[in-house]
Amino acid sequence: GTQIRSVKDELFLHAGPLHQKIKQILAKHGLDEPPNSDVAAMISHATQERLKDIIEKLAVISEHRQDMLKL
Amino acid sequence: TPAKPQTVLSDVLLSRPRLHDLVREVDPSEQLDEEVEEILVSLADEFVENTVNAACLLAKHRKATTVEVKDVQLHLERNWNMWTPGFGTDELRP
């Protein structure tokens, strides 16, 4: 048969270790491996958003701290 | 035989270069201390673990045999107020 492949966006997290981790946790719960990598892609994306939010907050806090020093 | 570098890195979810890219994206002038980077890397780890665990519980609750995107999505929306469009489960919502 013909295989259609598309170029996937590279994940934020390392795909190999991420899949491994997901597989491990699912097995612990007695669940099967997900049929595709959508779950991994979503978790990677969510992790990126989570960190982005924290880094944004850190930037604000650190700027505030610098301003205080100037007073 | 010496271990391949890949096996050494096998459990690292987030590499420093990726983290640096993200920081640069947020604020090009921002510099993170080594300790802060370490915390962020382990925070990413923890987040993944918590999210997958929560998704597993939701999948089991709907008596499914595996985790689907919608399980992850439900957890993110309810616990993190995170709306993640573009993952094939788009529905019109209020």
Tell me if chain B has a CB within 8 Å of the CB of A57.
no
pLDDT tens track for B34-57: 999 999 999 999 999 999 999 999
Q: Is residue B1 one of the residues assigned to a domain?
A: no
Tell me if chain B has a CB within 8 Å of the CB of A42.
yes
ipTM: 0.83
Domain total in chain A: 1
* Rounded distance between C-alpha atoms, residue A22 and residue A18, angstroms: 6
Containing structural domain, residue A55: 36-71
Domain total in chain B: 1
- pLDDT for B7 equals 47
Q: Is residue A70 one of the residues assigned to a domain?
A: yes
A-chain CB neighbours of B15 within 8 Å are: 14
Whether this model's pTM surpasses 0.90:
no
Q: Is residue B22 one of the residues assigned to a domain?
A: yes
Q: Is residue B32 one of the residues assigned to a domain?
A: yes
Q: Is residue B61 one of the residues assigned to a domain?
A: yes
Bridge-partner residues for B66, per DSSP?
A: A32
